[in-house]
Amino acid sequence: MDSDETRKAPAEAEGGRDDEARWRDGMVAGQAGDQAVYQKLLEGLLPVVQRLVKARLANATMADDVVQNALLSIHRARHTYRPERPFGPWMRTIVRNACIDALRQSGRRQEREVSVDAELPAPRDGWGAVSAQERLERAELSPELERALDALPVRQREAVEWLHVEGLSVAEAALRAGASPGAIKVRAHRGYRALRLHLEKERR
């Protein structure tokens, strides 16, 4: 099980009584479905989460994704918060686990993605108005890569397209798919592997 590292990082010492009370009330309202209060809570938590992540991760690019994953995890685990318990340790545990997961997966992911990344267009910002198909067309993918993408199972293709064509973060893709960030990463990894095999076969 996790070790309690909450006292190790100086940035984690924050979260006074006022913050605790505000966070607790915000989460209780969020559990009841109050969207406006919940949005304020997440916006208030954002700088805290960013500091906690920065204290643990040196890689700024990775930190951005981890902050989003941590917010998504807080959202998905909100039913496990009980108002009689302090909010800070609950949140810090989730953020810490998001950091640990990211560190664990980063090495493996880089190895798997590197050969396919060269084939895919650079990730972009923005989502919603333009469909994935349109973005694929605009991205002017090579015909062989388009064929390889078409051959992927739907979930894997979606994951690859969202992350690499639409430029969504893992957390955004997870929210869109209604799955966890881990599931999105697994689908994308499987997609990358299948793409690589497909491309290698075509080039032989």
Partner 1 sequence: MSPDRTQRLIGELARDLAPVHRVPRLRFSVAMVVGIVAATALIAFWMQGLRPNLADALRFDPVFGGVFVGLVLTGVGAALAAVAAATPGRQRVVRAGAATGLVGGLGALALCLVGVAGAGFDAGSPLSSDRMCLGQVFRLAILPSVALAVVLARGWTSSPLAAAALALVAGVALGAMVTHLLCVFGGARHLLLGHLSGLLLFTGLGVVPLATLLRHLARAR
Q: Which CB atom, from 79 or from 201, has the smaller least distance to partner 1?
A: 79
The least distance separating partner 1 from the CB of residue 149, rounded to whole angstroms, comes to: 23
The contact set with partner 1 (CB under 8 A) reads 1-4, 30-36, 38-39, 42-43, 46, 50, 60, 63-64, 67-68, 71-73, 75-82, 84-86, 89-94, 97, 100, 125, 169, 171-172, 175, 179-180, 182-183, 186
Instruction: Report the 3 state secondary structure along 8-71.
Output: CCHHHHCCCHHHHHHHHHHHHHHHHCCHHHHHHHHHHHHHHHHHHHHHHCCCHHHHHHHHHHHH
Q: Which CB atom, from 38 or from 162, has the smaller least distance to partner 1?
A: 38
The least distance separating partner 1 from the CB of residue 21, rounded to whole angstroms, comes to: 17
Supply 90's token pair: 């609950």
CB burial of 80-114 (b: ≥16 within 10 Å; e: otherwise) equals: ebeeeeebbebbbbbbbebbebbeebeeebeebbe
The least distance separating partner 1 from the CB of residue 10, rounded to whole angstroms, comes to: 19
The least distance separating partner 1 from the CB of residue 150, rounded to whole angstroms, comes to: 25
